[in-house]
Amino acid sequence: MMIDRRLFLGGTLALGAGACIPPDQSPVGRLAAELRLIEAAGNGTLGVEIYDTASGMAVGINRDRRFGHASSFKFSLAALLLQRHAAGLIDADQKVMWAEADMIAHAPFTRERMATGATLRELARAAQITSDNPAANILLRQLGGPAGLTAFWRSIGDEVSRVDRNEPEMNLVPATEFRDTTTPAAMARTVAKLIYGDVLPEAERAELKSWMLATETGLKRVRAGLPKDWVAGDKTGTSGLIGTEYNYIDIGFAEGPKGQPPLTFACYFRARPTEASMQPLGELTLSRVGKVIREFAEPEKGLPLVGKLY
């Protein structure tokens, strides 16, 4: 299967009508050129890594450039809780309470449960699925704070990703910021380790994956560009710095038809504030990456999917 993929990639991928022929005619170069077209149409900076979990093949652009996590860090935070629970280091079903002082913007779960509290597992699920900000901060407090999550990444071989602050301060990540950042290359592989590797036992992997599948905030992003019969889950992030830039993020996994190896992806789009409303453009840009993921997985179809959009 992997040999066939390489052969097909060599002869069938196209850039679309009117596009310049890239100097790199390799399969990776052709797909990277597709991503550059998407970046140009979005009038921003696009960082992407698409990773084949079976072969280790990958394609991307700006793959080693740092981008802010925004809420996408909550995926790894949920994984950290499940890992520590499986190791007997913490009880994920322990119930905790919180106070009004813990409440910040976007609290659909924690506001509703103020009076009764919730288990750490419920908070992790809410942080992943609804992106509840107080839930993330409460979990961080229980798991060693930002340093605890950064140490978790280091323990699984991610030497790049880091978290330095809590919500909402961690969203203040201009292009020159080093704190609270990762790279597409690092995060695509971290997603692969957490969903398909041995960092978590099978039951915890399945639970985390089910939470990603139930996350609806990404339905208009990468998942919107994937075929309807694919199975995909993700975690999104969105942040805006008034007068500077807006960040749209989507990390996750995509599983094509039976027999194809699972793929993971990490996409970061830093947009310039020249549009009246950045949200539709950010979502459209990331949805176009979904079409490149399909080309990467199914090169034998030979469809210039992205080129048709321009």
pLDDT tens digits, one per residue of 191-233: 999 999 999 999 999 999 999 999 999 999 999 999 999 999 9
Which value, in Å, is the radius of gyration of the alpha carbons in the chain? 19
Active site residue 210: no
Higher pLDDT, 61 or 303: 61
Q: Is 71 a catalytic residue?
A: yes
DSSP 57-83: -EEEESTTS-EE-GGGHHHHHHHHHHH
CA–CA distances in Å: residue 249 to residues 30, 67, 73, 195, 238: 23, 9, 10, 18, 6
Distance CA 147, CA 277 (A): 35
The structure's pTM equals 0.89
User: For the ranges 84-88, 102-106, 277-281, which has the lowest average pLDDT?
Assistant: 277-281
| Structure confidence at residue 149 (pLDDT) | 98
- How many domains does one find in the chain? 1
CA distance 80 to 199: 10
Q: Which of 122, 167, 283, 298 is catalytic?
A: 167
DSSP class per residue in 148-188: HHHHHHHHTT--S----S-TTGGG---TT--TTEE-HHHHH
Which residues span the domain enclosing 83?
2-309
pLDDT above 50: residue 21:
no
Which residue is associated with the tokens 């066939």? 4
Does residue 132 carry a pLDDT above 60? yes
Q: How large is the average pLDDT for residues 19-23?
A: 48
Q: Catalytic one among 71, 76, 239, 287?
A: 71
CATH number of the domain at 53, please.
Answer: 3.40.710.10
Q: How many CA atoms lie within 13 A of 141 on its CB side?
A: 13
DSSP-assigned beta bridge partners for residue 60: 49
